[in-house]
Amino acid sequence: MPRFSVAEASLWGCQFVQFLQDTGREQASVRETLRTIYNQEFRGRTDARTPNFSCILYALKTTHQVQVRGEVVKFKVKRHVVVADQYRRPRRNAQTSASTSASGQQLSSTPQMPQSHAKQWAELIRGKHGVEIISDCDQGNGNIRFPVVPGEPRTVTVLVQNRGTEVVTLQRFQPRQQSQELSFTDEQGAGQGQSLLLHPGGMYPIQVRCLTTCNGHFSAVVCFEFTKEPDESFSISRYVAAVAESQLAKDLGPSAPFQPYEASLQRHVTVITEDGMPPDSSLKNQLEREIPLGTYHYPKSLKDTILLGPNTSASSRWAAMRSLLEAPLQAENYYQKFQLLLHLEEIQMEVDIRRYDMQDVTMVQERALLVLHVPGVAENRPSLLRGDHLFAHLSSERDHSPLVQYKGYVHSVELDRVRLGFSSKLQKKFVKNLKFDVTFTFSRLPLQVQHRATVLAMRRGLFSLLFPSASCHKSLFSGPFQPRWFNRKLETNEEQCKAVTHIVTGVSRPAPYLIFGPPGTGKTVTMVEAIKQVWTCFKDARILACAPSNSAADLLCQCLIKDIAPQNVYRLIASSRSYREVPTDIMPCCNWDDEQSSYVYPSKESLRHYRIIITTLVTAGRLVSANFPPGFFSHVFIDECGHAVEPESLVAIAGLLAPMDEQNNPNGGQLVLAGDPKQLGPVLTSPLAIQYGLGTSLLERLMLHNPLYQKSSGGYNPQFITKLLWNYRSHEAILRIPNELFYDNELKVCKTDGLDTRNLYCTWEELPKKGFPIIFHGVCGEDQREAKSPSFFNTAEIEVLVYYLKKLLQSRGKGSCPSVSPKEIGIISPYRKQVEKIRKAITSLDPDLQKLPDISQLKVGSVEEFQGQERQVILISTVRSCSTYLQFDQTFRLGFLKNPKRLNVAITRAKALLIVVGNPTVLSKDQHWGRFLRYCKEQGGYTGYPYEDESTAEDRLASDLHMLQLN
């Protein structure tokens, strides 16, 4: 087996150091003790081939990450990440890792890495003792890159040159992580370990040949190993890449060299703020505000503690904080722990929002407003809603003190245009092309209502809802429940009937009832049926139905008004939402006043006339402020509960739902939560908040830690939880791996009457295997970034996506391709920049696709944007092709590949056809993606870049050795 390069061994060494930190043994310093830990514990965690202990120690020493003195080993340990700034830009005078050709074309470089790896790479590529590695295709920063055409071999020369004054010996050169399309040859066999002398002034040529059958990015890291008298050894590395790409990929390439975000130096400046012009608020707000909403700012000492870390003067405060975070969540620490977690997330939000700040930008005047172009605002990057604000000051005055900044209120957001109301003073100063620096802010309202909810939860004694231990076994029916089903399809689904029955009879109370709804099993349908049955059976019941997002709350409303008259249902919408986004079918029952052209908020007395109120979780905070009497709401339903942090779900409970009490509230207190803990949870960014549980929803916490909701040998206890089992959405082949990995193989494909649309693509001519409606198209692409965006994109994968899109849309209804419209196709990618590039390819660059009249209806988005949705056809671009970043991603919990919930959601959006485009070598390293890849290969669904997994390669090697009859 080949040896490990210094770079490879160093990466394993870094992981071992992290392992020591994770297991509390970062102080271990005796060489033999460390060797034992490495061999007996660390190496046993993975089946991958790992270097021996001496190898990683040498690599860490070479890259200046460890000091070794005799038997004492001292690691240069980094501080634990508590506030992650993944966007920091190197100092301006630092060498950049991208360059521009003489023609001005942007040239990609060695994959850019986290700073520590970048330093290692700089050391590895540095010329030493007069020895240099040169090539006509050298792009700088140790990167040798040349274009190739599929089917046409190309050879380039790499020269090893001795510019020093002493003889050196080239012991060998070794390509690592080598694409099979590349081959390396030399006359004297240095590639096979035949050493040769390089005299001063001497050069030695090595030929690099590439032959590929497909477009892609084919690379290797080549390590040249030398010795010099008397016994000194050294090495130099190069990243060699051959690139085959279409004109589309070239057009989609980086618009400018990537520049990581650089946090500007903060200096004390006196600021004078000129208030702006808020949007017109003819808002008719009659809803009382009897319970105040505090500010709940985090204490400055907390931020100091976090930034200083555990080994400083703040160590005692750090220890106290850590003690609270590590304590199990219970009634006694509930308020304190969630307050701390929310503070930690807010501190991280303050770090994150800075990356959107803009310098030297212009605005356009439209009557009394100024319009700012904000790329990404349509995707909430940054999030700006009507009523929010930002700050702007003149770029020419950025060094002034005092600095006059102007507060601009958001009047509307139209795609990437934000219309802002500033003060009259700025309006008078404004001239065309005047440049501004813009600072963004975020709304603290969601944080404030969550903080208040944790306080109210303890004051109102919600322990039986949050930490349930038993049921009162009291049914709301004296006899059996015999419903008249609104949705007759439920009659044939035992699990859905069971869930509705237990919810309506209320036998779980005071404990919440959980609907565990895997993808496509009718979770929302079940909840809607339960709401309708409660509304029918109990004339005095008042229901609050909530969801984390407007779209999910709208869906609840749309389903309910099919059978319940709109005058009984009230959809309460936040004033920050554009009325244009409200679905037309729910407008008659929402709080929009046509005469005033604004939202209205009726009084408590007016809201009493509605038996069903529907809001988002955050907007439910308005009802909390109104202080409805205890027991006003008999039932609270929360759909998509798994998407919300627990304090967010609590907003719709604390102050609105009184727990069931046999004396004072015998017929109320029913809480129903629906969701799937195996799908994506809430979106968070604070490493500490994620590590200590803020990312665990209320539904998931109950299922993980409460015995009432845990699965036994006989399944779940239906008195408290029902797992829905019949999948109505996906073809059996698409469902199989998610079913195996996440749902204990319990999901069953529901047969349909008549034409089953799930089989529409089983005979499509593009399928590698007929009858198996999944394509895994292997692509060996390249991770790229551009300008100031930290987001990745991969043009080779976009080429393949466009190919399949054209096959689907240009051939629809012809031959074996069913008729499909763009709105029935979804494209999922985890990276915003890839989403942006795919949209550009479809709507602007590809001449065939852009002229289709309905192409704008084809949705391209992130996994989060597709959760809860479905399409006939789903295409997935995984983007990542460089394993360098994967450990970095996992460290910061950003990695698409390291989050199995993302895999689950992405795959299960497809009904009839699933196409996955990605790098098989990278994806195979992950347990869950590797299983999906093997499944596609086993079933004949793999195509594209030639790939065989490691076990197959080992079997072939063993067979070859056997054929040689070696002893």
Q: Is the pLDDT of residue 466 over 90?
A: yes
Give the mean model confidence (pLDDT) for residues 843-858: 93
The distance between the two most distant Cα atoms of the chain, rounded to a whole number of Å, is 100
Q: Is the dihedral of CA 903, 800, 179, 955 positive or negative?
A: positive
Tell me: cis bond preceding 510? Omega within 30 of 0 counts.
Answer: yes
**Domain positions in the chain:** 1-78, 357-443, 733-953
Calpha distance 273→372 (Å, rounded): 19
| pLDDT of res. 886 | 46
Contacts 24+ apart (CB under 8 A), 491-494: 493/522, 493/724, 493/726, 493/750
Least confident of 479-488, 789-798, 941-950: 941-950
Contacts 24+ apart (CB under 8 A), 592-596: 593/284, 596/282, 596/284
Q: Is the dihedral of CA 83, 88, 94, 98 positive or negative?
A: positive
What is the Rg, in whole angstroms, of the alpha carbon atoms belonging to the chain?
31
Q: Is the pLDDT of residue 113 over 60?
A: no
The residue among 954 and 513 whose pLDDT is bigger is 513
Q: Is the pLDDT of residue 963 over 60?
A: no
CATH architecture, domain 733-953: 3-Layer(aba) Sandwich (3.40)
Alpha helices in 152-246 (DSSP H): none
**Residue type, position 318, single letter:** W
Q: Is the pLDDT of residue 139 over 70?
A: yes
Q: Which of the four pLDDT bands, split at 50, 70 and 90, describes residue 711?
A: very high
Give the mean model confidence (pLDDT) for residues 644-673: 93
Q: Which of the four pLDDT bands, split at 50, 70 and 90, describes residue 384?
A: very high
CB 907 within 8 A of CB 901: no
Give the mean model confidence (pLDDT) for residues 400-415: 93
Q: Which of the four pLDDT bands, split at 50, 70 and 90, describes residue 542?
A: very high
Q: Is the pLDDT of residue 46 over 80?
A: no
**Residue type, position 440, single letter:** F
**Residue type, position 266, single letter:** Q
Give the mean model confidence (pLDDT) for residues 936-962: 72
Tell me: cis bond preceding 382? Omega within 30 of 0 counts.
Answer: yes
Q: Is the pLDDT of residue 462 over 50?
A: yes
Residues in CB range of 406: below 8 A, 6 or more apart: 273, 274, 276, 391, 392, 393, 422, 423, 425, 426
Residue for token pair 């520049």: 259
Q: Which of the four pLDDT bands, split at 50, 70 and 90, describes residue 28?
A: confident
Least confident of 99-108, 225-234, 376-385, 900-909: 99-108
The string of DSSP letters for 334-383 reads HHHHHHHHHHHHHHHHHHHHGGG-EEEEEEEEETTEEEEE-TTGGGTTT-
Calpha distance 765→890 (Å, rounded): 39
The residue among 39 and 77 whose pLDDT is bigger is 39
| pLDDT of res. 904 | 97
| pLDDT of res. 101 | 35
| pLDDT of res. 77 | 53
Q: What is the DSSP letter of 89?
A: P
| pLDDT of res. 90 | 35
Calpha distance 621→476 (Å, rounded): 29
Calpha distance 859→868 (Å, rounded): 14
37 torsion bin: left (phi>0), alpha (psi -120 to 50), beta (else): alpha
Select from 68, 16, 69 the least CA-distant residue to 45: 16
Tens digit of each residue's pLDDT (9 = 90 or more) over 744-779: 999 999 987 666 889 999 999 999 999 999 999 999
Give the mean model confidence (pLDDT) for residues 650-654: 98
Q: Which of the four pLDDT bands, split at 50, 70 and 90, describes residue 82?
A: low
Q: What is the CATH number of domain 357-443?
A: 2.40.30.230
The residue among 534 and 885 whose pLDDT is bigger is 534
Give the mean model confidence (pLDDT) for residues 388-413: 95
End-to-end CA distance of the chain: 18
Entry field: residues in the chain: 967
| pLDDT of res. 1 | 43
Q: Which of the four pLDDT bands, split at 50, 70 and 90, describes residue 882?
A: confident
| pLDDT of res. 96 | 36
| pLDDT of res. 74 | 84
Q: Which of the four pLDDT bands, split at 50, 70 and 90, describes residue 566?
A: very high
Select from 663, 735, 715, 747 the least CA-distant residue to 910: 735
Give the mean model confidence (pLDDT) for residues 67-75: 83
Least confident of 475-484, 645-654, 730-739: 475-484
| pLDDT of res. 668 | 80
SS3 576: coil
Tens digit of each residue's pLDDT (9 = 90 or more) over 245-266: 999 999 999 999 888 766 665 6
